[in-house]
């Protein structure tokens, strides 16, 4: 588990981010209410007791103690609930400028402008992200056939292995097209059909092997995975791994007594014992033993606080584009609505995957942002902005 200060910082990042999106939502109500001549009594940045405030045009703009969200209190907004409590058949003593003194169309506009501003905010976020340079993972296209690692892939067979590919092959071409990296190969195979011609390098020899994938009804399966060298790329601070002395650049030779040559073999070896991890690493020319008791996740499995080295490649981006921001927002809105439809129709397998509370959402946002910041500042902020766009769309619909 994360240390307490780290956990608190993750929650703070997430809660402040969600709070910003909520304030944007409330600003939509504020602007619409002002435009519709509905009085706004209080607009608060934050929740809880008032720390500071200033009155402007009849509205108390205030900063409250807890900087997590905010609220917009319209004049007469509780008239309906009070009338229901009194069992009144109609409103009495409605004051000029109160919510229910306004025409119903104006009330509808006031209610809708909160979600609408959230959608506009998401468009602006994704338009900005489209113009910020970023890097994507670029893994050498060295493959493993999944039958070699049955415990990781649930004993699934590998059509590629059955037709001639073997673990350790480096894919050079697919159907005559040069393969830049595993991610490139994976995207091509995802849209493939029929027999694919793999050109691979094996022990210095170049081979071309025809492979026909298995049609699962949900796509074509080849039974392939990427493998990486077992070289440590980063170690999270204040973790058992860091305390035990594991360092960036260490090449892992043995894990729990098993020799490892790639990341899949390492994972198999580590999963055999969740109580303790005994590693032998090569650091420079020296072999060093590193032992620690790993953190455990909620399922009682090892939670590893180090990542293997990976390569990235820069992605060329265009200028700020509202059209790209709109396109991304529309796609994500459709995905969110599809999930809601599946949930209402009883087709969702796990409701927890569709809905989550504010605390859990804040932790997820903080965790992903922190992971990005550990890579570089730009990655951290890009992750945060992307996730805030998701939250904003959720509030918008």
pLDDT in tens, 65-92: 988 889 999 998 877 777 767 777 666 6
Residue 214: enclosing H or E segment and its boundaries? strand 214-215
Characterize 79-102 residue by residue with b for buried, 16 or more Cβ atoms within 10 angstroms of its Cβ, and e for exposed.
Answer: beeeeeeeeeeeeeeeeebbbbbb
Two tokens, residue 67: 């900087």
pLDDT in tens, 185-230: 999 998 888 899 999 999 999 999 999 999 888 789 999 999 999 9
The fraction of the chain above a pLDDT of 90, given in percent, is: 60
The pTM of this model reads: 0.69
Under the banding of pLDDT at 50, 70 and 90, the label for residue 138 is very high
Under the banding of pLDDT at 50, 70 and 90, the label for residue 3 is low
As to burial, measured by CB atoms within 10 angstroms (0-12 exposed, 13-18 middle, 19+ buried), residue 349 is exposed
Two tokens, residue 175: 């159907």
Q: State the average pLDDT over residues 88-105.
A: 80
Cα separation, 98 vs 356, whole angstroms: 35
Q: What would the 3-class secondary structure string for 218-235 be? A: CCEECCEEECCCCEEEEE
Give the pLDDT score at 382: 87
Cα separation, 296 vs 275, whole angstroms: 9
Cα separation, 388 vs 373, whole angstroms: 16
Give the pLDDT score at 378: 80
Kindly list the structural domains of the chain, giving each domain's residue range(s) and its CATH number in brackets, ordered by start: 4-112 (no CATH), 137-226 (2.30.42.10), 232-313 (2.30.42.10), 317-396 (no CATH)
Reply yes or no on whether the pLDDT at 365 is more than 50.
Answer: yes
Give the pLDDT score at 159: 95
Cα separation, 347 vs 359, whole angstroms: 26
Q: State the average pLDDT over residues 10-26.
A: 93
**DSSP per residue over 288-346, as a string?**
EEEEE--EE-TTS-EE--EEE---EEEE---S--HHHHHHHHHHHHHHHHHHHHHHHTT
Report, in this order, helix, strand and coil percent for the chain, each rounded to 5.
40, 25, 30
Residue with the two structure tokens 């059209």: 323
Cα separation, 101 vs 99, whole angstroms: 6
Residue with the two structure tokens 């109500």: 29
pLDDT in tens, 227-266: 999 999 999 888 999 999 999 999 999 999 999 999 999 9
pLDDT in tens, 262-292: 999 999 999 988 789 999 999 999 999 999 9
Q: State the average pLDDT over residues 98-105.
A: 89
Q: State the average pLDDT over residues 149-169.
A: 94
The CA radius of gyration of the chain, in Å to the nearest whole number, is 28
Under the banding of pLDDT at 50, 70 and 90, the label for residue 351 is very low
* Cα–Cα distances in angstroms (integers) from residue 159 to residues 156, 175, 213, 243, in the given order: 10, 18, 6, 43
* Cα–Cα distances in angstroms (integers) from residue 271 to residues 266, 300, 301, 304, in the given order: 9, 11, 8, 11
Reply yes or no on whether the pLDDT at 5 is more than 90.
Answer: no
Two tokens, residue 251: 């090449």
Mean pLDDT (the chain, rounded): 89
CA 358 from chain center: how many Å?
15
Cβ of 122: how many Cβ atoms within 10 Å? 28
351 phi and psi angles, rounded to 5 deg: -60, -30
Give the pLDDT score at 61: 96
């Amino acid at each position: 588990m994360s240390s307490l200060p780290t956990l608190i910082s993750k929650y703070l990042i997430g809660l402040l981010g969600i709070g910003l999106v909520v304030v944007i939502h409330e600003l939509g109500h504020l602007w619409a209410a002002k435009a519709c001549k509905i009085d706004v009594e209080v607009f608060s940045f934050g929740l809880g007791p008032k720390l500071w405030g200033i009155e402007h045009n009849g509205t108390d703009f205030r900063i409250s103690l807890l900087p997590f969200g905010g609220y917009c209190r319209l004049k007469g907004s509780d008239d309906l609930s009070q009338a229901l409590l009194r069992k009144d058949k109609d409103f009495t003593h409605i004051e000029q400028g109160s919510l229910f003194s306004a025409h119903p169309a104006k009330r509808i506009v006031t209610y809708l402008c909160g979600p609408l501003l959230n959608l506009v905010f998401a468009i602006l976020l994704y338009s900005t992200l489209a113009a910020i340079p970023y890097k994507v993972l670029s893994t050498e296209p060295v493959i493993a056939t999944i039958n070699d690692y049955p415990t990781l892939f649930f004993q699934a067979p590998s059509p590629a292995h059955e037709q001639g590919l073997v673990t350790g092959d480096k894919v050079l071409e697919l159907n005559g097209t040069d393969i830049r990296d595993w991610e490139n190969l994976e995207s091509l195979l995802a849209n493939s059909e029929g027999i694919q011609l793999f050109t691979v390098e094996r022990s210095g020899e170049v081979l071309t092997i025809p492979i026909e994938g298995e049609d699962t009804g949900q796509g074509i399966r080849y039974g392939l995975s990427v493998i990486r060298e077992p070289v440590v790329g980063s170690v999270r601070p204040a973790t058992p791994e860091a305390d035990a002395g594991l360092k960036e650049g260490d090449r892992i030779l043995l894990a729990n007594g098993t020799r490892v040559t790639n990341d899949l073999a390492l994972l198999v070896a580590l999963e055999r014992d969740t109580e303790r991890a005994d590693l032998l690493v090569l650091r420079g020319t020296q072999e060093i033993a590193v032992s620690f008791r790993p953190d455990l996740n909620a399922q009682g499995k090892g939670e590893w606080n180090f990542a293997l080295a990976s390569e990235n490649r820069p992605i060329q981006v265009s200028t700020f584009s509202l059209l790209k921001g709109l396109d991304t927002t529309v796609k994500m809105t459709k995905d969110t609505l599809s999930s809601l439809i599946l949930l209402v129709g009883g087709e969702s397998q796990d409701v927890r995957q569709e809905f989550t509370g504010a605390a859990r959402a804040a932790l997820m946002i903080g965790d992903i942002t922190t992971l990005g910041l550990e890579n570089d500042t730009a990655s951290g902020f890009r992750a945060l902005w992307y996730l805030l766009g998701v939250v904003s769309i959720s509030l918008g619909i």
